Structure formats: C-alpha cells, structure tokens
Amino acid sequence: MKNSEGKLCVMLDCSRDAVPNLSFLKTFIDDIAKMGYNSLMLYTEDTYKIEGEDYFGYLRGAFTAKEMKEINAYGKTKGIELIPCIQTLAHLGCLAPWYPYSEFFDCNDILLVGDDRTYALIDKMFKTMRDCFDSEYINIGMDEAHFVGLGKYLAENGYKNRLDILLGHLKKVCEIAEKYNFKPVMWSDMFFSLVKASYRSDEFVEFSEEALEKVPENVSLCYWDYYSKDEKTYDAMLSSHKQFRNELWFAGGCWCWSGFAPNNFQSFEANTVSLPIAEKYGIKNVIMTIWGDNGHEASKRSIYPSLFHAAMLYKGVTDIKKIDEKFTEIFGLTMEEALAMDKPNLIYQQPTLSNFTGTLPFNPCKFMLYNDCFLGWRDANVTKDGAEKYKKYAEELKKYVKNEKFGYVYDVLYKLCLVLSDKFDLGIKTRAAYKAFKAGDRKELENLIAVYEALPEKVEAFYLAFRKQWFYENKGCGFEVHDARIGGLILRIKDCTVRLKELLDGKIDIIDELELEILPPYNDPEKFGSGDNFNFYMRNYTTGQNFV
C-alpha cells in the first residue's frame, strides 16, 4: 500500500478502565510520529468532561477541556492531528446508571433514539469536541448497537424497522455534526448487522436503493476488521461497502486487548492481508485500533511492533527485513526482541517474524492467571509443557527488564511468566494430589502445599510491576479494578492453601470443589489442550456470575 495523501491514524482506547495521563500521551504521540502516523483518535465513551454535565465522566478519570486542548496543541507540534472519537448511540453503559441519563436509554448501553434529551446531550458532546479540537473530522461511533429499538423504544413506539431507526438517528446526529463544522465518520457494522444479522461476510451483501439514499452524504463509513485473514472476506465486504455513496475508511487492529500481553503476530497476519486490499479499493484513510477490552491490562508500548508494521505496509514496504531494520533504528530493539512481549500468550503456537501464518489471538496469559485453583474449568486448556514454557519465557524476558524505554513492560511480563510457571497447571496438579490423598498418599499434597505457599509472593511481585506500568501510562481511575482482581487472586490462593492444610491435618474430610467432576467446556475433543481467546475476567474466575 503506497499512500501519502490520506489519514494514517492510531485509535487509542481511553474508555476501558485506562485513561492515559498527559505525560505518557505526549511520549506516545512522539513515538507514532516517528513511525509515520499523521493522526490520533482518543476513543472516549464517557471519559471526557462536558460543561454542565457533572455525571458525564464521573469517577472515570475523564479528560478535562484543558487537557484535551493541551494534547491537541501538542499533537500539532509533532504533525499529529487529534481527531475526536466519541459514541453517539451505543457503548455508553457507564453513563446509563446515573440518574440524569437513565431515563433516556433504550436498553443496555444504547441511547433512546428520537428522545429530545438524547440529542440535547449529543449536541453538548459535539460542542465540547469543537471547543477542544481543530480537526474537521469526528468519529461518531454507532457500532454494535445490536438491540437498538428493542427496549424502551419498543415500549413507547411499537416495533419499527430497525434499519430505519438507525438511519433516522444518524440523520439527526449528522445534522448536529454539520452545525459544528465536523465531517462525521461512523463504524459501518450496524448497516450489515441489521440487514444480514452479522457483520463480516465472505459474500456480497446487497442494500436496497431506499436505504442507500437515506444515508447522509456528509458521513464517512469505516469498515473495521481485526479478524479476517482471507482476501475473499475483504473483497466481499469492501465491494459491499462500495454501494454507498459515502467516503470509505478502513480500520485494522493492533491486538493488545486480551490481557497483559499483546498478540502482535495476529495483527501482522491480518494487516498483511487487509491493507493491500484496502488500497486496491481506493481507501486512503486507515485507522489502526488499540482497544483495551475488559481491563486494558497490556502496555501501549507492547503493541509497537504491530503499529510500526502496519505503518510500513501503508507506505508500501512489505519486506520484513527492511521493516525490522527501520524499527531497530527508531527504538533500539530488534523486532524479534520486541516480539518477546508476545511470549506469555505463545503456549499453543510458535509464530516467528518470518512465518506468522495461521496465528490465532490466544490469551492464556489472562485466562490461566484467573482460572480458579479449585474450580478450574479452564484446565481443559492445560498442556503438558505449558508450565515449563512459562519458566523458559521468564528467563528470556528477564534479559530486557533494564531496557530504558521498554524495561518496565518486560518486567511485568517476566513476573507474570514466573507466576504462570506455577499456576498454569496448578488446578490439574491439585486434583491429582487430592485424589492421591484420598487414596492414602500424603506426599503429593505436602509438596503441592509448598507451591501454594510460595505463590502469593510471586503474584504480589507481578502486581507491583503491573502497578508501576499502569501509573506510568495512565491516570489512577480504573486501577481499582486490578486491585480487586489481583488482590482477590492472592486471597483466593491463600484460602485454598489453608483448606489444603486443613485437609492434610485432618481438620476437614473433603474439599467440596475438588469432589466435583470438571465437565468438558468444548464439544470438540480436538480443542482439549489447545488455545482459546477468553477475555472476561469474572467468567474465567467463577461460573457463578454472568459475563462481566
């Protein structure tokens, strides 16, 4: 892809727990400018302050108007255009519980379409963005509003064609955008989801002429795809988008939203396919997204290999050796050394810089960390050599902890691997020791208790390294989530230790959880001992809560 006329943009998630502090954000702008990017979107759901709306961004570490103006001005000095990136329909779930807003939500995280209060709030959103940013563009979101029109809207209006509901709302939002001299960009998925009940397809999706005519002329559509790796899907989706008379953007992904370690190789493979095809369809504006789903645990610097790789592809450079040389010149690390940050997720596959075909975004660094020692329903993903791999990875990562720019990131991942070298297969070993004890053999349980007793100290060392990373990159709001999660993990390990000791000392006869049979989570036997991507903390930890 050889492109110098359009936007090469990074989109940084500032809404899933982590809101970056200004000091780090400025260094991030410095770095993406060196990579060749020319614009930055700060994805803010409710993490910015609006004058007169005290509960908007309340307790969320929201950017103030002063901060947004400062970062906008700083970006200009580095050749980086700050493009506002907000939500005007869905993904506003953190706003919904507060009383000033709860009455004009449709359902879940979706604003109530057609309600005057919705558009009064959106008007204030646009005014705030215009006061703080110079860009002519604004990303208005509107993605994944899957239940639009099916909650309060349905109760008040009866069932209406849901594509018409979306289009009616879009028309009003685009009118507000025009009022403030913005060119809106929206994620395009809901057009497809409401017509075909899914977004990505390897077949052409046809839209009626009536629907196409209702899409406002001043909105650009952004096709986002971080998953597909086959040309057929991209061809089908981009040709389907070409039915619209609107400017078309493309968004790829830099995978760091599945736990503490990134999935750079997944990003390499998907972007290697997608970006040349986007060029074939005449797309000049490209966004590389850095999401932070369910905790924003990974360092923003851990994804630099993917960001740089995508920027080079955008410029038409596909030779991995040349990409590696340029990356080393800028950051003082070889690409291979930087990709060591993927190691905590590389238990089931071993991609390399020269061969990353078939890589999947598995995240054992998260789901095996929080997999419960006694309940252990993720034990189906344990491999015989997984714990040894983590021990080896810890030794490899330790070599880089003194690196001036990236050392704190390596330190988190090194100490995480030390934890997982004990914890990865701890559930399997616990059930085996329990079974042996019930058969009269105490030795296995005695040895296992020693592992349990040493583990909290290792988890706390990991926590302290992660805490250092968090506060170097982010504001304080949001870290309470990780205090609760990692602190809860430490207490759980300690309690399991106590109960195992009580069993060994004859104070209790059984441990209820270890009496239970662990049922297979898959109906496909080939998935046992294989990888998975499972990012919901609570569901990894317990089967007694919903997906949170």
Task: Show the 3-state SS of 428-460.
Answer: HHHHHHHHHHHCCCCHHHHHHHHHHHHHHHHHH
CA distance 500 to 513: 12
Q: 440-478 pLDDT, tens per residue?
A: 999 999 999 999 999 999 999 999 999 999 999 999 999
CA distance 210 to 195: 13
Quote the pLDDT of residue 548.
42
Q: 119-154 pLDDT, tens per residue?
A: 999 999 999 999 999 999 999 999 999 999 999 999
Q: Which residues, in sequence order, are CB contacts of 332 under 8 Å at separation 6+?
A: 403, 404, 405
5 pLDDT tier (thresholds 50, 70, 90): confident
Q: What is the mean pLDDT of residues 283-297?
A: 98
**pTM for this prediction:** 0.97
Q: 341-388 pLDDT, tens per residue?
A: 999 999 999 999 999 999 999 999 999 999 999 999 999 999 999 999
Helix (H, G, I), strand (E, B) or coil at 222: strand
CA distance 463 to 412: 8
Residue whose C-alpha is closest to residue 381's, from 418, 428, 421, 422: 428
Q: 230-255 pLDDT, tens per residue?
A: 999 999 999 999 999 999 999 999 99
Domains annotated on the chain, with CATH: 8-336 (3.20.20.80), 364-541 (1.20.120.670)
Q: Which residues, in sequence order, are CB contacts of 337 under 8 Å at separation 6+?
A: 400
Quote the pLDDT of residue 2.
61
Count of CA atoms in the C-beta half-sphere (13 A) of 513: 16
User: Tokens for 500?
Assistant: 């195992």
User: Tokens for 175?
Assistant: 């009118």
* Pairing outcome for strands 39-43 and 110-111: unpaired
* Pairing outcome for strands 105-107 and 8-13: unpaired
Q: What share of the chain has pLDDT > 70, as a percent? A: 99
Indicate if the alpha-carbon torsion angle 352, 355, 356, 358 is positive or negative: negative
∠ CA 528-530-536 to the nearest 5 degrees? 95
Q: Which residues, in sequence order, are CB contacts of 374 under 8 Å at separation 6+?
A: 427, 430, 496, 511, 513, 514
540 pLDDT tier (thresholds 50, 70, 90): confident
Are the beta carbons of 423 and 455 closer than 8 angstroms?
yes
